[in-house]
Each structure stands twice: as structure tokens, then as C-alpha cells.
Structure 1
Amino acid sequence: MPGPIGRCGPDGAGFLAGPSFAQHQTRFAEHFVLDRRDGILTVRVHHEGGAALWSRGLLNAWNLLLGEISADRDTELVIITGTGDAWLAGVDFASFAEPMHRWAGESIDEQYNDGVKLLERVVNDLDVPTIAAINGPGPRLELPLLCDLTLCTPDVVIGDGNFSAGSAPGDGLYLVLHELIGAKRANHMVYTGEGLRADQARDLGLINEVVPRRDLLPRATRLAENIMAKPRTARRMTHRLAARGWQRRMVADLRHAYAHQLLTMAGHQDRA
């Protein structure tokens, strides 16, 4: 049977209505708290009400959520943040307990698809301005660093631990570092495992502002409200210009890099 008819078009005829915002809130509640006011959508990632843990499930949920957000014309700006004192509290090691060389081909394909789509959706699919409010330390910072504006708390440290853990750095952060701070600095960070403090990251252009935790979300909201005061078309076209460089970089490098990382991981053997 045909789906419900939406409100778009001169008479609404032929336009299918998407899921309601309440349906989004319910569907993604395990991983995200979604709040939308006056077109500003705040996405707060969590795990059981506290700081989130990186897992295969969370990766898949981010991919699906960004797809839904991109199709919702009532969302005019997106703020992403974490819960409590950490962007992510760490990694859910149980989610990655099975060595990748034992994974079925379908599981590897799923990991590859979710991994590349996560970043491609941010730069290709979202047609509205994006602001990241990194509320504390944690891994997997490539997503907030790809946003148009990025704020963080003073205790944030940005680093790529893939090589230190025995893996090629292909899941996105090295690509972001390479683009924003240059090859030599990015290479040094990867090979040494050293990170950048928040103030260093700001001075190098990785982030825009370092903000005390209590002021972080209010500051992000004020920036969002200032952006929302401008015409709708200007907001969306400016975001597309801001994302253009990332789009070229993703097409050129992301899938190539991610495949290299998965090849490294699939070649690992059990360690005594």
C-alpha cells in the first residue's frame, strides 16, 4: 500500500511523509538523546544515560541516524555532543572481541560500509550547518572534527592510537589530521602516538574554541542561534561550500584508507 502523503509541493500530492521526529527519538534512544528546538537539532550520544562506549552497534547507529537527519527538512542545524565528562568513555571491547580474521565476509563488509558511510554522510548528505561540542576526552574524534565548527573542553586530547595498537590508521582521523595540520605533523602523531592538547589543537586550526565544560553547550547554542538568524538558503549554501573540500578528500582517500585498515586488522592473529 502507498505510504502517507506529506505536506510538500503545491498540493502535497505525490510526496511521501517520512518518520516523525518522535519516531526518530524512540528508534535511536539506545544510543542518542535527540532534542530539536526551532530547527536546531542537538544529538547527544550516550550509553545507559552516561558517557557512550564506542562499539560496532554505535557505529551502525551513527550511520543510520545521519541518514535520517539528512532527509528531515525540519532540521536546520545540527549540534553533536556527548554525555557527562567524556565524548566517549572508551571502547566496548566485547563488541570487538572476535579477531577480525575470524569474521565472516558479511561482517567485514558491514564494518566497511558503516565505517565509510559515517564520514561520507557528514560531508555529503547533511545539507545544514554542523557544530560539534566535544565535552571531554575520548576516541573517535574524526566525526566532530569534520563539523563546520568544533568546540571542545580544556581536557580534550586529540590523537590517533591506531598505529600504536598495531593497525593502519585508516578509519578517518588520520585523514582529518593530514588535511587540517599537514602531513608531517599528522605522520608524527601517528607514529609516536602523541596527542595534542586542546589549546595546541586550537592554535593549529583543528578546533575553533576551547570552552569550560559548563559553558560548552550554551556557547554552541548561541553560535547556532546566530547562524539561524540568517536566511535559510544562505545557511544551507554556506554549509555546502564549507563541506566542499571534505567531499573531494573523502572521494580521493577515505575508502582506500579504510580498506587498508581492515586489511591490517584481518591479518592479525591471536596473541598469546
Structure 2
Amino acid sequence: MSKLTRFEDYKDRYDNVRFDRTPEGVVTMTLHTDGDSIVWAPGSAHDEVAFAFSDVAGDPEVEVLILTGAGDNFIVDYTYGDSGEPIPAVFMERLGWSGYQLITNFLDIQVPCVAAINGPTELHSELALMCDVVIASEDATLMDRAHFAQGVVPGDGVHVVWPLVVGQNRARYFLTTDLKLTAQEAREWGAVNEVVPKDAVLARAHELAAKLLVKPTTTRRFTRHLLTQPFRKAAVNELNHGLFLEGYGMQIYTPTGDQPLYKD
């Protein structure tokens, strides 16, 4: 449950999230690391994005949210370290807690959300897919590189969101074959709504936000609540289940040689 927040209090709070707001209340949340594409890591970006979603959810002056990334990629690079040793249980417990907050805090946002996928996305694609409208650049790709491709159980919410968006069979195929979908293929699957030139992604997102603003605030908020209900139900039933299996599997799996658990 999010607490009441104000934009001025959280807009400069995070190192890996940049916030901008128009006078009409359209908030753009840009994921970044030092101004370039975000490097996903526990204790920093992983936690910050989760907490930033909670701040947006608690701000009654947000009318529409645009979620995008800086640089050439939406989310590609990540670093969890690779010591060659089993991962401590305390680390996985903390990471699982943060992963749960990441998804549930996002679903607490009760205004329309527009994803502006500005480039390749190889982990946490579920964040974009939980938006009400998904715009992708022509060079964008969607892949789940952080899980089964590395010998890890697909968790983190991809196991909840992808089946709801593209169907069970396509989701299982996507999550277990190291498949990399082009933006156009993702559109054909129903995961992406529009594919536009790279330099037009954010502008198109703002165009759609302006259309959404025409509708009454209550209508917009209630519609977001209504249309994300399937995600919330699935999260209640399966999110922690997937996070547990992911974390438990990682504790008994020691990365070796040509199959590192995580990219350094």
C-alpha cells in the first residue's frame, strides 16, 4: 500500500530514475545510470525502481505515467556478480522481497501508463508489458536473458505477465528458448501496440498521453484499476511462487565456465 507523496519530494530522490512532469500532470519516469542506459543491480537500480513506483502510486497529482529508458537501451545490462559460489540465502531473501515490491508497487499505480521502449530489452520486460499502451522503437527487441538462458527459473514477474499478455504457449516458448523478439514480432504477438522510429518513441508516448488526458480523471483511474485486475490476481497467486523457485534454484546452482549465472 503506497503512502501519500508529492512530486517535489521524490523527483530527485533516486540515482537511477529521472522524473519529469508536464503542467498537465504527465510524469515521465526515465530509467538510467549516470544519464545513460540503466545498469540493473540489486540494492541500487533494482530497489530504486521499485520504490519509485510506490512514490508515483502515492502521488494524487500524477495524471498519466510514461515509462522509458535513457540511452540506446530500455534495460539490457545488469551486474549481480559471479563469484562461482552458491548465492547466500540472505541475499536471495532480500532480492525476492525487492522483486515482489517491484511488481506490486507498479500495479498500485492507478493512472494510465504508457511504455516507451526506446531500444533493446533483455530483462524485466514485464515492466513495459504491464503498461496500458506499449510503444517500441524499430530497433527494440524483447528477450528474457536473465533467467532460463542463464540456467535460472523464470521469475521476477515474467512468469506472471507474459502468459497473460501473449498466451500460455507463446509465453512458455519465449521464456524457455532464449528467443529474442524483434519489435515487429512482439507487435504481432500482441506484446507491443505500436512500432515507431527510434527518435519518435517518446514523442508518440506524449501524443497518446495527451489523448488520455481528455478523459475525466476518475474514468482514467478506474479504467486503469479495472484493466490491471488480471495482473493483480495473477500476482497474488503466482508472484511469490515464482520468486521462491527462482531464488531456491539459484542457491543450489553454482555457475560454471561458459554458463555464468550473471553478467559481470
Q: Same fold (TM over 0.5)?
A: yes
The reply on whether 1:133 has 2:116 as its aligned counterpart is yes
Q: Distance in 2 between matches of 1:220 and 1:204?
A: 20
Q: Secondary structure at the match of 2:94?
A: helix
Aligned pair partner of 2:20 in 32, 35, 41: 35
The reply on whether 1:116 has 2:100 as its aligned counterpart is yes
Could you say which residue in structure 1 is the equivalent of 2:32?
A: 46
Q: Distance in 1 between matches of 2:144 and 2:210?
A: 33
Structure 1 gap segments, 5+ residues each: 1-16
Could you say which residue in structure 2 is the equivalent of 1:26?
A: 12
Aligned pair partner of 1:82 in 69, 90, 98: 69
Q: Distance in 2 between matches of 1:156 and 1:118?
A: 23
Question: Residues 212 and 108 (structure 1 numbering): CA distance in 2 closer, same or farther, change over 3 Å?
Answer: same
Q: Is the 8 A contact 1:152 1:209 kept in 2?
A: yes
Aligned pair partner of 2:225 in 234, 237, 240: 240
Question: Residues 168 and 25 (structure 1 numbering): CA distance in 2 closer, same or farther, change over 3 Å?
Answer: same
Tell which structure's C-alpha radius of gyration is larger.
1
Question: Residues 36 and 211 (structure 1 numbering): CA distance in 2 closer, same or farther, change over 3 Å?
Answer: same
Alignment of 1:1-272 (within 5 A): 20-28=6-14, 30-37=15-22, 38-56=24-42, 57-91=44-78, 93=79, 95-98=80-83, 101-103=86-88, 105=90, 107-123=91-107, 125-139=108-122, 140-161=124-145, 162-269=147-254, 271=256
Q: Distance in 1 between matches of 2:84 and 2:116?
A: 33
CA RMSD, aligned part only?
1.8
Q: Is the 8 A contact 2:12 2:18 kept in 1?
A: no
After TM superposition, give the deviation of residue 88 of structure 1 in Å. 2.3
Per-residue CA deviations over 1:68-99 (Å, capped at 9, x if unaligned) read 111111111110100121112411x2x43456
Structure 2 gap segments, 5+ residues each: 258-264
Question: Residues 206 and 229 (structure 1 numbering): CA distance in 2 closer, same or farther, change over 3 Å?
Answer: same
Q: Distance in 2 between matches of 1:186 and 1:20?
A: 38
Q: Secondary structure at the match of 1:164?
A: helix
Identity value in percent: 29
TM-score, normalized by length of structure 1? Answer: 0.87
Q: Distance in 1 between matches of 2:4 and 2:159?
A: 36
198-207 or 167-176, which deviates more: 167-176
Q: Is the 8 A contact 2:35 2:71 kept in 1?
A: no
226-235 or 157-166, which deviates more: 157-166
Per-residue CA deviations over 1:11-38 (Å, capped at 9, x if unaligned) read xxxxxx955423312211x111100111
TM-score, normalized by length of structure 2? Answer: 0.89
Q: Is the 8 A contact 1:88 1:137 kept in 2?
A: yes
Structure with bigger RCO (C-alpha 8 Å, 6+ apart): 2
Q: Distance in 1 between matches of 2:87 and 2:182?
A: 37
* One-letter amino acid matched to 1:47: T
Q: Distance in 2 between matches of 1:168 and 1:247?
A: 21
